[in-house]
Every structure is written in structure tokens, then in C-alpha cells.
Amino acid sequence: MHDIRLIRDNPEGFDAALAKRGLAPLSSQILEIDALRRAKITAAETALADRNAASKQVGAAKAQGLEDEFERLRALVADKKAEIGILEDEAKDEDERLQDMLAEIPNLPADDVPEGADENDNVEINRWGTPRDIADALEHFDIPAVKGGMDFETAAKISGSRFVLMSGAVARVNRALAQFMLDIHTLENGLTEVNTPVMVRDEAMYGTDKLPKFGEDSYRTEEGMWLIPTSEVPLTYIAAGHVMEESYLPRRYTAHSLCFRSEAGSAGRDTSGMLRQHQFEKVEMVSVTLPEDSDAEQKRMLRCAEDILERLEIPYRTVVLCTGDMGFGARRTFDIEAWLPGQNAYREISSVSTTGDFQARRMNARFKRAGEKKPEFVHTLNGSGLAVGRCLIAVLENGQQADGSVDLPTALHPWLGGKTRITADGQLA
């Protein structure tokens, strides 16, 4: 959500920032509605002030027994009442029109975000590890050690396409990965573990900018609840409506949750394997910070995510998304792409974004500086740390051996009860 004041003060700057996202200028249209809105507000308030004044006199007239005067003023107040009703409705309509319009405008990119049209213009800023030379590398679902424990046919029977049924060693490694990530984040990175609801209300989706524009990407129950597309939604919405003490910040959360996405519009993409599912697991990180701290916090979060991959010995590269590839609510986004030998490509495994005060405005999350009167909006950030399913793919594909088995990363062994590999026939050993 944008600050109408900033648009008023600097419409050219606003349009210029929109242009970086490839959007047409909107400021003149916004300011037109805003001017109309303010005119209606002024008119309504003037009428209200008149009514309030007359209303006070009514009481006085009554008290003094001036019946004629009382009746006259009473009629006047009644007239004003009708007028006020109309003016207030008009003011409200204009205000809603403005809010609706602002709600659909994406966040403005930070100054340092590279300009570009699409993912081809993203800029690599870090590369770690060297992909191992694997002859005839297989995709995860074709690796002999994995095949028996990753069943797409049965999942389809139960739930349709884009679901998976994991069992045995594969399910165990998947679980170990999630535990591993959570333990690192809580014990070493100082994040607070949270277990959130995965069904949320409209307000939480709106506050984290998933609504009104992207409702079709998520699932909604018949009762009107949303299945979360990411635990960014409940984690961030914790702060909604609060005025926090300055000293309360930063807040750093992590959660392991199921995530649900309809994947509308991605038909035919990544259809094989478990890269893109309707239901998946993710360990999420969310930070709520002071405005001046959010840029440093984003780098910190990025390091937390990259560190997981380094410990798991998975080669990756980090890119900063260009203006044309960023999500709706982001001011700046870093994507981490893990090396997948089976695809001979780097694929997204984490996305770390700062939204500035964009979400905070929508959910009215504020803090008060010591000694200051006015509350200010906090900054909110979110990042995957990491997508568990995709991390499982990376671990399996990078660990595949010529004999069909999979060597599991050393760092993970303690979470596997000391086991180190999956044999070609699918046993943890």
C-alpha cells in the first residue's frame, strides 16, 4: 500500500519508479481521485460542524423553554442530517475508490535494484560451490534409491496431479531436512520458532499483499478461509494492528509449514517430479524491523538461507531480481538458485524480500520511538530458509552415485540418526 502523501509530494518520482516496473504512469489519475476525495471530505466536515453548532443550541433553547426556537433549530439539524448523509457517502465512495486503486499498485523498487524486463535481466551477485561432475545425471525421481519412496501415481489417485506420496527413506530425509533447517535457524541464527495456522482470514491475505490481486493463486475453503501460500502470511500478520515499543524490534521468526498453491497459469511447467506441487513444505523466515535496519536485515536473512545450502554442500548462485521480475509486494528481492544436476541448471530454492513499509501500511503495523509521539510503520521482510521439497531434490540429485545410491550430506547425518546414505534399493544406511 502506498502513502498518498508521498505520491502527492512527488508524483513524477512515483511514476518514474512505476516505469522501472514497466508500468504506465498513474499519479495524475490517483491525484485526481485524491483531490475529489478531499473536496468531499471538506464539504462533509463543514456540514458536520454546522450541525454540531446547531445541535448545541438546541439543548440550550430547550433548557430556556424557548419552544419556537427549539423547533426551528430542530428542523435545521434534521435538514443538515440528510445533507451530511449524502456528503459522507460521497466522501466514503471516493476514499474507497482511492484505496482500491492503491491496493492494486505494486511496491516501488529500491534505487539499487537493477532495471530489466524479465528473469534474463537478473544480476548474479554470488556463486558458491562447484557442481560435481556426474556422468548421465538423473533427475531426482529417476534415481534408483529414490524411485520407490516417491510415488506420483498413487498421489494422483488420491489427490490428482501435482501431489506426491513420499515414503521410507525419502520421507525420512525430507523430515530431517526440515528439522535441520529449523534447528540451525533457532539455535544458531537467533530466530524464534513459531507454529502457525495454515488457514487464514481475508485480512491476513490482504495485509501480506496476496489479495486483492492474487486470490486465484491460492485455495479458499467453502467457509471463506484461505490455505496459506506461504507462512509469510501468518508470520508477518502477527504484527498487524500493533503499536510496538522501539526496543521490541527486531522480531525474527521462523516456521516450518505446509504451503498450498493452485499453480493457476503454470500448467505444463515443471510437471514431472516434485519441483512444483500444489502442496509443499517450506521453512520460512520473517523479520519485522525498524525502517533504518531493514536493508541490513535482508542481507542477514540471505546469509541465513545461503548458509543452509553451504552446510548441505549444494552449489548455488544468488541473484538480485531485476525490476521486471520482482513480486508485487517487494522492494528488493534476492533469489537463491540451487544446482540441480538432473536438470543441468540452477533452480530457485529461496527468495528473500524486503517489502519496506508496504505490508506494514496494509496491516497497520507500527512502532513508536522512545520520546516520539507519532507512531511509524515498521518494515517487514520474508525469505525462504528453505523450500524443503526443493531442497530434498537438490540433496538427492547432488548426492547421486553411479551405482544408483545417494550419499547424504555430512551435516545432515545427526538428523538421520547417524545414517549417511540411501542405498540403490531405497534403504537408509
Distance CA 322, CA 112 (A): 10
Burial of 147 (0-12, 13-18, 19+ CB in 10 A): middle
What count of other Cβ atoms lies within 10 Å of the Cβ of residue 282? 25
DSSP-assigned letters across all residues of 186-214: IIIS-PEE----SEE-HHHHHHTT-TTTT
54-62, 183-191, 209-217, 412-420 -> range binding RNA (CB under 7 A) = 54-62
- Told to check if 59 binds RNA by CB under 7 A, we report yes
User: What letter would DSSP give residue 187?
Assistant: I
Question: What cell was used for 209?
Answer: 499483499
Only one of the segments 111-119, 172-180, 209-217, 370-378 lies at the binding site for RNA (rule: CB under 7 A); that segment is 370-378
Is 359 in contact with 203 (CB distance < 8 Å)?
no
Torsions phi, psi of 277, nearest 5? -120, 160
- Closer residue to RNA (CB): 44 or 255: 44
Residue nearer to RNA on the CB measure, 19 or 49: 49
Does 276 participate in binding RNA (rule CB under 7 A)? Answer: no
Q: How many helices (H) does the chain have, and how many strands (E)?
A: 12, 18
Strands 123-128 and 316-320: antiparallel
Strand 406-407, strand 379-387: pairing: unpaired
Would you say 77 or 319 has its CB closer to RNA? 77
74 part of the interface to RNA, by CB under 7 A: yes
Stretch that binds RNA, among 46-54, 101-109, 164-172, 272-280 (CB under 7 A): 46-54
Taking contact as CB under 7 A, which single stretch among the options 74-82, 135-143, 282-290, 395-403 is the one that binds RNA? Answer: 74-82
Cα 161 to chain center, whole Å?
25
Nearest CA to 124 among 391, 321, 350?
A: 321
Q: Which of 16, 19, 23, 49 binds RNA (CB under 7 A)?
A: 49
Q: Does 381 bind RNA (CB under 7 A)?
A: no
Shortest distance, CB of residue 243 to RNA, whole angstroms? Answer: 4
Q: From the CB of 4, what's the least distance to RNA, in Å?
A: 6
In the shown chain, the binding pattern of residues 235 to 254 toward RNA, with x for contact by CB under 7 A and - for none, equals -------xx-----------
Specify the DSSP class assigned to residue 416: G
181, 191 Cβ separation under 8 angstroms: no
The nearer residue to RNA, 49 or 125, going by C-beta atoms, is 49
Centre a 10 Å sphere on the Cβ of residue 198 and count the other Cβ atoms it contains. Answer: 17
Number of residues that bind RNA (CB under 7 A): 27
Closest distance to RNA from the beta carbon of 221 (Å): 12
Q: Is 296 one of the binding residues for RNA (CB under 7 A)?
A: no
CA 240 to each of CA 139, 197, 237, 366: distance values in angstroms, whole numbers, following the listed order: 42, 15, 5, 8
Q: Considering the complex, what minimum distance in angstroms separates the CB of residue 166 from RNA?
A: 22
Cβ-based nearer residue to RNA, 74 or 347? 74
The one segment of 232-240, 285-293, 317-325, 368-376 that binds RNA by CB under 7 A: 368-376
374 belongs to the binding site for RNA (CB under 7 A): yes
Binding site for RNA (CB under 7 A): 4, 38, 41-42, 44-46, 48-49, 52-53, 55, 58-59, 62, 74, 77-78, 81, 242-243, 368, 370-371, 373-375
